[in-house]
């Protein structure tokens, strides 16, 4: 791979050149080829250097992969995985920083996963590859460098995680915070800060954006009565909007406060470090939103 990240390091030696292939920088072409191979029953794993480049191939992901099983009334199945880093990195600018979770999760026929921890990455990728349908697997470049403790069970070769199930990363009783990918770590930090101020936050690691674990989210909100949705991507039509609607549909009477939405700023990602920091959610944004939902906010004028 031409990738500086080297997720596939060692695979060529282990599995050989028939199974691990470098491609030219032609996303539409190689993605179409991979989907065609999946039509024939192979199980390709397509790597996009980042999901920003998946836009060049998005017709194949959606029209050739996602919709084929339905259009063919089940004749054609497409057991393919599209994986790669998603969302903002550091200082890479507007064209290299977008989060695609909301875009892909919009489409029937796709499954969309977003691992946070090493356990998530291992367990979810195995399930994604085994799944008979197309799966979009949204990793995160900054998380590649983070270490996570894992159990022997996770290291076992048969370990896998089910698609469509969220994980309660931290139990709490006063407020629910939903997050995915890198934002799970931020939410956990925020929960730590909130606990010192007497607010017990429950952090849900979504793991699966489509299908969304609506049962887990609603069960949590029915327990805590307050919700903050957290994501790095643009706010309009984002993942948080869908979560909010799910809660309104199923648990409206349980809400004691309006749902708070934390998302990236509604601008293309700027380059300057201080602007970039302002364009993505930070831990204190999450803390502030949680307090607002708990009616513990400082007066409006002091939110600067």
**What is the contact surface with other proteins in residues (CB under 8 A)?**
18, 21, 23-24, 26, 28-42, 59-60, 63-64, 68-76
In angstroms, the CA 128 to CA 163 distance is 8
Nearer to other proteins, 76 or 129 (CB): 76
**C-alpha closest to that of 69 among 79, 59, 58, 84:** 79
Name the minimum Å distance from CB 72 to other proteins.
4
3-state secondary structure of 76: coil
Question: Strand 208-210 and strand 111-113: pairing?
Answer: antiparallel
Name the minimum Å distance from CB 64 to other proteins.
6
- Residue 269 host element (H or E): none
**Could you write out the DSSP letters of every residue in 218-264?**
HHHHHHH--EEEE-SS-STT-HHHHHHHHHHHHHGGG-SSPPEEE--
Q: Is 260 a catalytic residue?
A: no
Residues 6+ apart with CB under 8 A from 10: none
Name the minimum Å distance from CB 118 to other proteins.
31
Question: Strand 81-85 and strand 45-47: pairing?
Answer: parallel
Any alpha helices (H) in the chain, and if so which ranges? 11-15, 27-39, 58-59, 68-71, 101-105, 118-130, 152-155, 182-196, 214-224, 239-251, 273-279, 283-293
User: In the numeric block, which tokens belong to residue 172?
Assistant: 């709490």
3-state secondary structure of 143: helix
Nearer to other proteins, 89 or 212 (CB): 212
Residue 178 CB neighbours (<10 A): 30
Q: Is 27 a catalytic residue?
A: yes
Nearer to other proteins, 39 or 116 (CB): 39
Integer CA distances (angstroms), 34 to 52, 90, 121, 251, in order: 18, 30, 22, 42
Name the minimum Å distance from CB 23 to other proteins.
7
- Among residues 60, 96, 171, 242, the one annotated as catalytic is 96
In angstroms, the CA 224 to CA 255 distance is 8
Nearer to other proteins, 108 or 149 (CB): 108
CA 14 to chain centre: 29
Which residues participate in catalysis according to the annotation?
27, 96
């Amino acid at each position: 791979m031409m990738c500086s990240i080297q997720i596939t390091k060692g695979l060529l030696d282990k599995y050989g050149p028939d199974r691990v292939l470098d491609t030219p920088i032609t996303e539409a072409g190689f993605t179409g080829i991979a989907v065609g191979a999946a039509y024939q029953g192979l199980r390709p794993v397509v790597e996009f250097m980042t999901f920003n480049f998946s836009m060049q191939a998005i017709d194949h992901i959606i029209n050739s992969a996602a919709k084929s099983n339905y259009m063919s009334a089940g004749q054609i199945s497409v057991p393919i995985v599209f994986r790669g880093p998603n969302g903002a990195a550091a200082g890479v600018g507007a064209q290299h920083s977008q989060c695609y979770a909301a875009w892909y999760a919009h489409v029937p026929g796709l499954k969309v996963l977003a691992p946070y921890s090493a356990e998530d990455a291992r367990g979810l990728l195995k399930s994604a590859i085994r799944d008979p349908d197309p799966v979009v697997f949204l990793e995160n470049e900054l998380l590649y460098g983070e270490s996570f403790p894992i159990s022997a069970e996770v290291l076992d070769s048969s370990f896998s995680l089910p698609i469509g199930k969220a994980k309660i990363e931290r139990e709490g009783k006063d407020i629910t915070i939903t997050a995915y990918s890198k934002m799970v770590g931020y939410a956990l930090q925020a929960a730590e800060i909130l606990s010192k101020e007497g607010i017990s936050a429950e952090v849900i690691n979504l793991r699966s954006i489509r299908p969304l674990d609506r049962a887990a989210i609603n069960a949590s909100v029915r327990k805590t009565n307050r919700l903050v949705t957290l994501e790095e991507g643009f706010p309009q039509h984002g993942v948080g909007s869908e979560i909010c609607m799910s809660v309104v549909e199923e648990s409206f009477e349980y809400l004691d406060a309006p749902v708070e939405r934390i998302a990236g700023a509604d601008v293309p990602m700027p380059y300057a470090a201080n602007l970039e920091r302002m364009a993505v959610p930070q831990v204190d944004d999450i803390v502030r939103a949680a307090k607002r939902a708990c009616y513990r906010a400082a007066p409006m004028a002091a939110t600067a």
